[in-house]
Structure 1
Amino acid sequence: MKIAIAGSGALGCGFGYHLQKSGEEVTLLDNWADHIQVVSENGLTITVNGKEDNLKMNMCKPHELNEEMDAIFVFTKSMGLKPMMESIDHIIGADTKVICLLNGLGHLKTLEHYVDKKNIIMGTTVWTAGIDAPGITHFNGQGPVELQNSDPSEKEGALVIVDMLQRSGLNGVYSDNVNYTTWRKACVNGTMNALCALLDTTIEKVFSTSTIDSMLSGIVTEFATVARLQDDIKLDVEETITYLKNLADKVGAHYPSMHQDLANNRPTEIDFLNGAVAEASKRFGVEAPYCQKVTDLIHAKEDILGIPSASNS
């Protein structure tokens, strides 16, 4: 299968590596010139769960790929989805499957402007990753990649992608309610990502603080309220907090992506996470003080560092 990875940062490289190792024809797409040059000249150097490897991979800028793909995995930042879709429109055919594994909320509406709904597969992943230098990444985890086709009548298309992920070691599973897992993943990023970015530390250290229970309860309760009002998704607050703590035990040494963004002077995805919850709460006439304050603090930190926010970039 001809596969493009649209947005080949840490997670995109990890998925592309596994898919090519399993026999798929993969092209990494990105706009970071130094990253492209190193991968093109030296191959991708990647450490997967502590084991280092190097793999020769095709990599170029989106406009430089000039053939239709069978499948495209989208791994941009939330604010980069629209410009990426515009730049890869020429490689999307009538039957090209587009698999969205982005963090954040509201991406289906964006994708529907560029792709027939029958070809959009939404999903979530709990794999973690990071870039150590151009062309050098790490990729950790073993959890599921949950997928569901946006058009219920097109389940078979999603099952083909699920099978491919299983064969590549990425643990694909079909979900009958990916909206639920999307909201729960948003809770992961709205707590772990945001708090690690604000406190400038790892997941493990954030979750060992004396105030973690209060912070988790406040943020998750607000996510659960908006999920119910907006999408009729029922998130159990206590179950979600238990899930977060169990996940933190597994990936505690990790600096999540929002922390990495600030460390590298890049805008964060906060407006598509806590910010989205805070904005939606206003429409529904409910309060979301935790999410609003977290959003304000992240934007304040962006301002201090001289980073344009996602809404202004």
Structure 2
Amino acid sequence: MKITVIGAGAMGCVFGGHLQEGGNVVTMIDIWEEHVKALNEKGLSLKGASGDRVIPISAQTDTTGMSEQDLVIVLVKASVTQKALESAKNIIGPETIVLTVQNGIGNAENIAEVIDVEKIIVGTTANASELTKPGEVIHHGQGETVIGKYEGKLTDRDKKIAEEFKNCKLEAKAVDNIMSIVWSKLILNTAVNGLSGVLQVPLGKLYEWPETREFMRDIITETEKVANAKGIEILHDDPYEKVFTICRDKAPGHYASMAQDVYWQRKTEIDVINGTIVEEGKANGIETPANTAIVRMVKGVEKGYLKGKKSDY
């Protein structure tokens, strides 16, 4: 398959690297010129859970000169989703599938402003990764990627995407109830992402410290109430223990993606994670003081470093 990954961050490199190794022709797109140069000249250094190796891979700062692709994977920051898709229209043909595996809620809706909805599939992943320097990514933990149709029923072509992921040693499956799965992951993201970002600590500390553990509990309670109000089934029997188990046992040393954003002084995705809960709470008459507080804190941190900076992938 001809595959383009738009957004060559930590997760984009995990997907792109595995898919390239599996025999696909992968191109990474990112506006970070130093990173693109490193990928082209030295290859992708992928270390950690899936082994240590260097994967030769092609990278560009945009899609100029490229042909239509079989699959486009979108992993840019939510704030630049539409802009990124608009600039990549030349690689999206009649048979192209567009998969968003971005954090938060509302990304598929933004993509649907640019391309036909029948092309869009939505995904969520339990892989954990970290971009440590240009061209180098640590794959902290392997996990399942789940995909489903944004609108309508899964087609055979959609299901083949999950099969290709599995062929490339990326655990994956295609499902019909994708939004329940997306919201079930959103509970984790709302609980840990903002706190890890503001405090610049790994997930284990968020559980270890009583104050942050209780803060996470409040965020989870609010998020679950909003999901219930929207008629969305949360698939965790005990969402608190699900989050705490990840923080305490499965990934205590992992820094959430928002912690990495703050470290690299990038715009975060707080608006489509906790910000979504705040807005949906208002729409459904549910108070969300914990989510509101973390949104305000993250935005305050952002203002300390974003002034005058352009948004990036």
* TM-score after normalising by structure 2: 0.93
- The aligned residue for residue 36 of structure 1 is 36
Matched position secondary structure for 1:211: helix
Match of 1:159 in 2: 159
Percent sequence identity is: 28
2:241 aligned residue:
242
Query: Which residue in 2 is equivalent to 1:209?
Result: 209
1:78 aligns with 2:78: yes
| Change in CA separation of 1:208 and 1:265 when aligned onto 2, cut-off 3 Å | same
Runs of 4+ in structure 1 over 6 Å off: 308-311
Distance 1:6 1:305 in 2: 25
Q: In the TM superposition, what whole-angstrom CA distance separates every residue of 1:87-145 from its partner, at most 9, and x where no partner exists?
A: 11111001100111000111121111222222211010011111111111111322210
TM superposition shift of 1:184: 1.5
Give structure 1 stretches of 5+ with no counterpart: none
Residue type at the aligned position of 1:75: L
Offset, 1:199: 1.9
CA–CA separation in structure 1 for the residues paired with 2:65 and 2:229 = 42
Q: Shift of the alpha carbon at 1:303?
A: 2.1
Q: Is the 8 A contact 1:224 1:234 kept in 2?
A: no
Deviation sequence 1:139-198 (CA, Å, 0-9, x none): 132221001122333432221001001111110112221101111211211111111112
CA distance in 2, matches of 1:114, 1:66: 19
| Paired residues for 1:139-154 under 5 Å | 139-154=139-154
Check 1:303–1:15 CA distance in 2 against 1; reply closer, same or farther (3 A cut). same
SS of 1:173's equivalent in the other structure is strand
RCO higher in 1 or 2 (8 Å CA, sep ≥ 6)?
A: 2
Q: CA RMSD in A?
A: 2.0
* Residue 258 (structure 1) aligns with: 258
Q: Which amino acid in 2 is paired with 1:52?
A: D
Q: 1:158/1:48 Cα in 2 relative to 1: closer, same or farther (>3 Å)?
A: farther
Q: Specify the alignment match of 1:99 in structure 2.
A: 99
Secondary structure of the equivalent of 1:83?
A: helix
Structure 2 counterparts to residues 175-194 of structure 1, below 5 A: 175-194=175-194
- TM-score, L = length of structure 1: 0.93
Taking a change above 3 Å as real, the CA distance of residues 285 and 85 of structure 1, as seen in their structure-2 partners, is same
- Matched residues in 1 for 2:40 and 2:104: separation? 31
Structure 2 residue aligned with 1:48: 48
Moved more, 95-104 or 147-156: 147-156
